[in-house]
Structure 1
């Protein structure tokens, strides 16, 4: 049996420790950058401010990403990964169809209600980069499309499972549900209107009631639920 010479083993161990330290440092920078972007937008990201927050040199921060653009893209990907962990993955454990669709919306709603005091990078990024073509816009649009695709699949599964009417237009329902979140973000974060979260939840119930199997299309929509708490 051959034995790895000790000097080589030491070099490999040192290399592994260096890699792990580098990954930890990069993760710390990303965490700080995500917090900064949530409050100031992707365009508000500053290498100098991140250097101060992480107690590093500007060149040290720059070395982990290579450019401000790469940093912005990395922040978008990190935000999406955390969004999936908090919203998507727990929801897809629910039963196929309407239970899963409801879970996706409810978890999305809760996340947005928490982001009232910071900001949603999906929404703020769309405002910043809607008319600015380039890699950052492409990365942001790709993440948003991925999330919308997950919602659309949940709607189609709800139709396939017989929970929603066969003539339901998935893209129309997706448009309506996504619009609720945009309205919630506007009313809760910009206007600071109380009860916005509960209004969004009630509006989702109305949308589902319109498309659910057995719904009487001539009947009036369900009554609005009494707000339980004011949005912060």
Structure 2
């Protein structure tokens, strides 16, 4: 029982540290993380942090996984609650904008920032980021394919092209948000995608109205 209690406390500490580290990484980047600096910033012992992550790279990979879990919770799961088809495709973008508007990450979009940071750096961190981007684009492409299958989008629709457009609108909103404000950029991003989807869908009435 004592051992189980220690394990639970250790896990709570690990999650709390990753929460704060993810926020920090969204501002200063993954490369700016170090176990020594993190210990000072969070007022924790270096030995405690090394018990969880034996190296800087291990910490960076753990932060990416934590960011993925946040993305799944905040974006993907809520989107999947929408009906299959173009409404679910729209919901994925809408939930992404909602995450940016929540300002849970002060630096904007962790993934967008990290992709730029590690785009030309070989190694395990870049490989993991590539895998995350590939999964996200596959998710969007799959939703677009479903939209064609259920008849919400015409057969000539290219799902991969549509997924690329949607992600581009998301990345651009994230890049402008720290300067122009998330409310402004997310509103423009939503309107741009909604207007495009209305021109494509076989039944525009199933899409929401934006005020």
Q: TM-score, normalised by structure 2?
A: 0.88
Structure 2: where are the runs of 5+ without partners?
none
2:117 is equivalent to residue 128 of structure 1? yes
Aligned to 2:66: 78
Q: Which residue of 2 aligns with 1:220?
A: none
Which has the larger displacement, 49-58 or 68-77?
49-58
Deviations 1:2-57 (A, max 9, x none): xxxxxxxxxxx232222222212222221221121112111121322321343322
Q: Does 1:206 align with 2:191?
A: no
- Separation in 2, partners of 1:151, 1:194: 23
Structure 1 residue 147: deviation in Å? 1.7
Q: Which residue of 1 aligns with 2:142?
A: 153
Q: Give the count of matched residue pairs.
A: 206
Q: CA deviation at 1:206?
A: 2.4
Shift of 1:154: 0.9
Where does 1:1-232 land on structure 2 (aligned, <5 Å)?
Answer: 13-115=1-103, 117-190=106-179, 195-213=184-202
Instruction: Give the 3-state SS of the residue equivalent to 2:77 in structure 1.
Output: helix
Higher RCO (CA-CA < 8 Å; seq separation 6+) = 2
The two structures, once aligned, show a CA RMSD in angstroms of 2.2
Structure 2: how far apart are the matches of 1:89 and 1:214?
25
For 2:152, what is the secondary structure of its paired residue? coil
Cα distance, 1:117 vs structure 2: 3.9
CA contact (8 A) 2:39 2:45 kept: yes
Alpha carbons 1:98, 1:163 under 8 Å: kept: yes
- Give the 3-state SS of the residue equivalent to 1:42 in structure 2: coil
SS at match of 2:47: helix
Higher mean displacement: 15-24 or 127-136: 15-24
Instruction: Report SS of the residue matched to 1:56.
Output: coil
Kept after mapping to 2: 8 A contact 1:28/1:54: no
Gaps of 5+ in 1: 1-12, 216-224
Larger Rg: 1
Task: Summarize deviations over 1:35-92 as a string: whole Å, max 9, x none.
Answer: 2111211112132232134332212212211101010000011011011101111110
Q: Distance in 2 between matches of 1:193 and 1:90?
A: 20
Q: TM-score, normalised by structure 1?
A: 0.81
Matched residue SS, 2:155: coil
